[in-house]
Each structure stands twice: as C-alpha cells, then as structure tokens.
C-alpha cells in the first residue's frame, strides 16, 4: 500500500475489477480516521484496474446519482455512482452569479478531484416542472468512480467527511456501496421499449412563425443571429434506463462528447454534442466556434463533398462568423493572448458536417478561473445569439418550452482545470418520456423549412436509437 498526501493506492499493478474492489475495501477498512486532523477531509482510495467497458459497468450499478462523461477525443472517460459530495444550487438569478457561486464553493474543495454536472441554460428563466430535478447547477463528486485517461484505467473511492460528520459511519456507507457493486463484465442489454408517439413543440407551422419573427428582428437591424430550438416529445410503452441511449449509440468514432447526469433512476439529462465550450488547464484555454451545418443525407457519407459545400456556403460562413467573432471579442478582456485560427475547418459527423474554428487563449492571472471563462463564453452565439443579452430575452419570448439544461455548459470541473461541452443534441429522459432538444442558428436569409430539416438531422442519431432502427 502506498500513500501520497490524501491518496491511498492499495496495489501498484492493475488488477481485475473484482480484485481491485477487494483491495480497496481492505484499504478503507484499515484507514485510521484518528490521523485526520482537518475538516472537511477527503481521502481518495485509488486502484488501477484492467480496462472494462465503462458504460456496461455503470449500467450494472444501482446507486444514484449516476454520471458519465467522455470527451470528443475519447481519451478521458468518467463513470461515477453515488455522491461523496454534491454541490447544488436551486435559486433563480443571473448565470454569472451561478458561475461565481460554484467556483467559490469549489475553492474550498480538494484540488485533486473532479466534480461532474451541469448548469441551466438561462437561470433567469422560470422554473418548469419538466426540469424539476435539474436545478440552477448541480455537480457531484461520485462516491465510486471508474475512470480511463491516458491509457490508464482505475477505480476510485472518495471518502469525504464534512465538519461534524461521523467518519466511522461514512466508512461503513462506502464499504456497503462497494459490497453491493455488480461486477459481472457481460450484461444482457435490454431493448428500448416501443415508441408510441412523437410530437414536436413547436409544430412545423409554429416553428415557421417563430423563425419569421426572428427574421423580422434581423430585417429591422435589432438582431444579427438567434438560435431557436425545438423540443421533440417521444412517448414509449414503458420506462427504461437513459443509459441505453449511450450504450446503443452506434457510432464509436463519431466526434461527440457523451454526457449523462442521472440524479434518480430512469431520469436523466443526456447529450451527444460535437461542441466544446472550453477546456481549461490553469491559465490555458482551448475553445472553438462550431456553427454552420451541411446535411449529408444524400451524399452517401461523402465527407469531401460536404466540406466543399460548406466552405462555399455564404450563409453558413456568415452564421459561423458571428460565433467566431463573438468568442474572439469576449475573450479579449480576460486574456493576455487570444489565438483564433484564420482558416475555416470542417468537423465531420455521421449525418452532418459543421464549420469549425479552433481558438487558444491565455487568461490573465486575475481571470484564471472558470467563473470568468463561463461568464464570457456562455452562451456563445452558436446557442444564444448576437447581441447576447437581447438574444436571451428573445429566446424566452419565442420558444414555447423551457430550455433547462439544454445548450448549457455540461462537463467536469476541478479547482485548477475544467472541461465543458455545450449540451446540445440532448435529451431529458423521464420514465416513459424522452424530450429531445435541438436547434438551429438563424441569420438573415435563413429558410425556416431548411432549418427544420437541419434539426431533424441533428436529432437523427437519437431518433434512430428510439425507433430501434440504428443497427
Ligand atoms: C443548436 C444546435 O447546434 C448548433 C447550431 C448549428 C447550426 O445552426 O449550424 C451548428 C452547431 C451548433 O452550434 C443544436 O444541435 O441544438
Ligand atoms: Mg445552421
């Protein structure tokens, strides 16, 4: 057994998962709480394991919340169960107040761990019953975490003891969770129940009306860009695990982040988004503009053809330009340098291609925090609009549903680093209902019918899974 600061490593060698759990249990049992002289106190028990399938592992566990994160590069996967610590905020208010509060709370936490969760898109928006389990923000430090990073897999247990809490009781709780883990590697994956009904909010007619209103705002010079979204309600014959969407996602190489936040059984927000909000490591920020879309439906998967169309589409380049310019402009006051790529790139997905520009920035020391970065970047005009504040109001006025966590920052955060994706191509799964959320960026010259088709393709992968027609 090796100990480094507050991390206890039972064995150096990677173990099969059942032996890893046994080693972790032994280490937790032997842990001497009298050695802890500060509070709150976090002790991490971390054992390297032989690689397992993280989603199957997660699916087998019956401990909630369950959380999942995989980045677009697929070199970081986090699958967590239970909560060692849970940072939540319910009250309405400005988004920047939420960001500040989270970061202030995290500043007192251990820098060695990541909290996984998300925010509401617009915390000024009225609460809505559909989203009752998804507050202003909610971030969890899992009790047990299976993680894969840099070709290394491990299982961690977090023993977190707040002031006044009984450490013996916490140890017992953690040991009981470990005892109850289901460690079988194979699992019979159930089918998704039959899809009974599909409806759209707004329907096609109201969508066109909403878009026309937005086009009117462009014509009068009030606005330059607005992203409007649609909620697609699916009703199934029975309830099921939201993780089935992730397990059945048929494109292992598709360039998407994968996120699931399931606070209680069969109730989750999931997202398969291609869009990074940012990654922060200390003062370094990696972000991007992703907007402008080409549908590949009729191209037999011809990526080159899609790129050619996009790189010659005046409307998509203009749509993309608003996002690129806003990110560059908003980062200036908080950064000592901002490097935005000149040339447009194309990000290829299964059904779509997007215009894409990569951006790197170095934060000024006084702004090297996630609250500063979240406040300037969220929402980018890819999911909000130009001008930013007016767009928030128009979105609330024009959309006949509550965005909740849709299009908001979702990901993980620690004291010194963070990675957030933009929670689009997403679903709120509640028992036998799935609400899909997706939208399209409108600019002058947008055609409401083509934007509707764009949304259909953006939720195409999720619809195929729901219909059982993805294989
Ligand atoms: C808003 C969404 O996607 C955004 C809108 C895009 C567009 O309109 O071209 C492209 C990528 C995303 O920035 C969504 O999928 O819900
Ligand atoms: Mg578009």
Residue of the CA atom closest to atom 6 of ligand 1: 291
Confidence of residue 301 (pLDDT cuts 50, 70, 90): low
Q: Which two tokens stand for residue 129?
A: 């019953």
Looking at the DSSP assignment, which residues form a beta bridge with residue 70? Answer: 77, 258
Contact 323, 295 (CB under 8 A): no
User: How far, in Å, is the centroid of ligand 1 from the Cα of 383?
Assistant: 7
> How much of the chain exceeds pLDDT 90, in percent?
89
If one residue of 440, 444, 462, 463 were mutated to test the ligand 1 pocket, choosing by the most ligand atoms within 8 A of its CB, it would be: 440
> How much of the chain exceeds pLDDT 70, in percent?
97
Q: Which residues contact 222 (CB under 8 A, 6 or more apart)?
A: 390
Relative to the alpha carbon of 458, which ligand is closest? 1
Q: What is the average pLDDT score of the chain?
A: 95
pLDDT reading at 184 higher than 90: no
Residues 381-429 pLDDT 10s? 999 999 999 999 999 999 999 999 999 999 999 999 999 999 999 999 9
ipTM of the complex: 0.99
pLDDT reading at 3 higher than 80: no
For position 40, what pLDDT does the model report? 67
Atom nearest to 227 CA in ligand 1: 1
Q: Using a 6 Å CB cutoff, which residues line ligand 1?
A: 227, 229, 275, 290-293, 354, 382-383, 424-425, 438-441, 458
pLDDT reading at 236 higher than 90: yes
The whole-number average pLDDT for the span 230-250 is 96
d(CA 155, CA 27): 13
Residues 202-233 pLDDT 10s? 999 999 999 999 999 999 999 999 999 999 99
pLDDT reading at 300 higher than 80: no
The whole-number average pLDDT for the span 310-329 is 98
Residues with C-beta atoms within 5 A of ion ligand 2: 293, 440-441
The whole-number average pLDDT for the span 125-135 is 93
Angle among Cα 289, 290, 293 to the nearest 5 degrees reads 145
User: How far, in Å, is the centroid of ligand 2 from the Cα of 159?
Assistant: 46
For position 35, what pLDDT does the model report? 61
d(CA 149, CA 414): 16
Residue of the CA atom closest to atom 9 of ligand 1: 292
For position 5, what pLDDT does the model report? 74
Atom nearest to 438 CA in ligand 1: 16
Contact 238, 336 (CB under 8 A): no
d(CA 341, CA 358): 6
- With CA atoms as reference, report the closest residue to 229 among 466, 14, 23, 427: 427
Atom nearest to 425 CA in ligand 1: 15
Largest CA distance in the chain: 71
Q: Which two tokens stand for residue 211?
A: 């878009």
177: burial class by Cβ within 10 Å (0-12, 13-18, 19+)? Answer: middle
Domain boundaries, the chain: 195-467
pLDDT reading at 444 higher than 90: yes
pLDDT reading at 435 higher than 70: yes
Residues 10-51 pLDDT 10s? 999 999 999 999 999 999 999 987 666 666 689 999 999 999
For the chain, the straight-line distance linking the first and the last C-alpha, in angstroms and rounded, comes to 46
Contact 138, 86 (CB under 8 A): yes
Residue of the CA atom closest to atom 1 of ligand 1: 439
Confidence of residue 297 (pLDDT cuts 50, 70, 90): confident
Q: What is the CA radius of gyration of the chain?
A: 22
User: How far, in Å, is the centroid of ligand 2 from the Cα of 439?
Assistant: 8
Confidence of residue 299 (pLDDT cuts 50, 70, 90): confident
Q: By mean pLDDT, which of 5-9, 59-63, 265-269, 449-453 is the weakest? A: 5-9
Residue of the CA atom closest to atom 10 of ligand 1: 291
The whole-number average pLDDT for the span 129-152 is 96
Is residue 109 part of the annotated active site? The answer reads no
For position 295, what pLDDT does the model report? 95
Instruction: Summarize the annotated binding site for Mg(2+) as residue ranges.
Output: 319, 454
User: How far, in Å, is the centroid of ligand 1 from the Cα of 441?
Assistant: 6
Residues 86-120 pLDDT 10s? 999 999 999 999 999 999 999 999 998 999 999 99
Residues 350-386 pLDDT 10s? 999 999 999 999 999 999 999 999 999 999 999 999 9
Q: Which residues of 136-167 are buried (b: 16+ CB within 10 A; e: fewer)?
A: bbbbbbbbbbbbbeeeebbbbbbbbbeeeeeb
pTM for the model = 0.97
Instruction: Summarize the annotated binding site as residue ranges.
Output: 319, 454
Residues 143-174 pLDDT 10s? 999 999 988 999 999 999 988 888 899 999 99
User: How far, in Å, is the centroid of ligand 1 from the Cα of 63?
Assistant: 34
Is residue 225 part of the annotated active site? The answer reads yes
For position 164, what pLDDT does the model report? 86
For position 2, what pLDDT does the model report? 75
Q: Choose, from 109, 148, 170, 225, the residue flagged as catalytic.
A: 225
- Give the CATH superfamily of 195-467: Anthranilate synthase (3.60.120.10)
pLDDT reading at 471 higher than 70: no
The whole-number average pLDDT for the span 65-77 is 97
User: How far, in Å, is the centroid of ligand 2 from the Cα of 442?
Assistant: 7
- With CA atoms as reference, report the closest residue to 140 among 465, 441, 414, 468: 414
DSSP 155-179: EEEEEEE-TT--HHHHHHHHHHHHH
Residue of the CA atom closest to atom 11 of ligand 1: 291
Contact 458, 230 (CB under 8 A): no
If one residue of 228, 323, 383, 407 were mutated to test the ligand 1 pocket, choosing by the most ligand atoms within 8 A of its CB, it would be: 383
d(CA 117, CA 319): 29
């Amino acid at each position: 057994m090796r100990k480094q600061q507050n991390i206890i490593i039972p064995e150096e060698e990677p173990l099969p998962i059942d032996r890893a759990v046994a080693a972790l249990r032994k280490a937790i049992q032997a842990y001497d709480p009298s050695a802890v002289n500060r509070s709150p106190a976090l002790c991490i028990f971390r054992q390297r394991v032989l690689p397992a399938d993280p989603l199957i592992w997660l699916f087998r566990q019956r401990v909630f919340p369950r959380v999942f994160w995989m980045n677009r590069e697929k070199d970081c996967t986090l699958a967590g169960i239970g909560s060692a610590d849970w940072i939540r905020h319910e009250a309405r208010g400005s988004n920047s107040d939420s960001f500040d509060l989270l970061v202030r709370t995290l500043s007192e936490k251990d820098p060695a761990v990541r909290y996984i969760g998300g925010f509401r898109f617009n915390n000024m928006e009225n609460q809505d019953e559909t989203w009752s389990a998804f507050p202003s923000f909610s971030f969890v430090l899992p009790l047990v975490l299976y993680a894969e990073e840099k070709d290394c897999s491990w299982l961690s247990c977090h023993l977190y003891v707040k002031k006044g809490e009984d450490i013996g009781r916490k140890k017992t709780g953690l040991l009981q969770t470990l005892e109850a883990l289901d460690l079988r590697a194979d699992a019979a994956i159930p089918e998704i129940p039959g899809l009974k009904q599909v409806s759209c909010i707004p329907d096609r007619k109201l969508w066109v009306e909403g878009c026309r209103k937005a086009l009117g705002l462009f014509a009068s010079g009030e606005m330059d860009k607005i992203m409007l979204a649609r909620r697609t309600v699916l009703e199934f014959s029975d309830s099921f695990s939201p993780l089935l969407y992730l397990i059945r996602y048929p494109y292992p190489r598709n360039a998407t982040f994968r996120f699931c936040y399931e606070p209680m059984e069969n109730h989750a927000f999931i997202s398969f988004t291609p869009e990074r909000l940012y990654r922060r490591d200390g003062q370094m920020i990696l972000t991007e503009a992703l907007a402008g879309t080409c549908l590949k439906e009729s191209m037999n998967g011809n990526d080159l053809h899609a790129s050619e169309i996009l790189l010659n589409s005046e409307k998509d380049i203009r749509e993309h330009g608003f996002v690129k310019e806003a990110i560059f402009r908003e980062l200036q006051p908080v950064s000592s340098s901002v490097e935005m790529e000149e040339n447009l790139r194309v990000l290829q997905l299964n059904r779509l291609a997007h215009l894409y520009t990569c951006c790197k920035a170095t934060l000024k020391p006084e702004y090297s925090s996630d609250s500063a970065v979240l406040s300037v970047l969220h929402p980018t005009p890819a999911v909000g609009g130009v001008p930013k504040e007016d767009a928030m109001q128009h979105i609330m006025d024009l959309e006949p549903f509550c965005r909740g966590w849709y299009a908001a920052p979702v990901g993980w955060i620690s004291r010194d680093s963070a990675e957030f994706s933009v929670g689009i191509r997403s679903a709120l799964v509640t028992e036998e209902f799935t609400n899909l959320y997706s939208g399209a960026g409108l600019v002058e010259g947008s055609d409401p019918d083509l934007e509707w088709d764009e949304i259909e393709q953006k939720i195409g992968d999720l619809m195929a899974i729901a219909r059982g027609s993805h294989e």
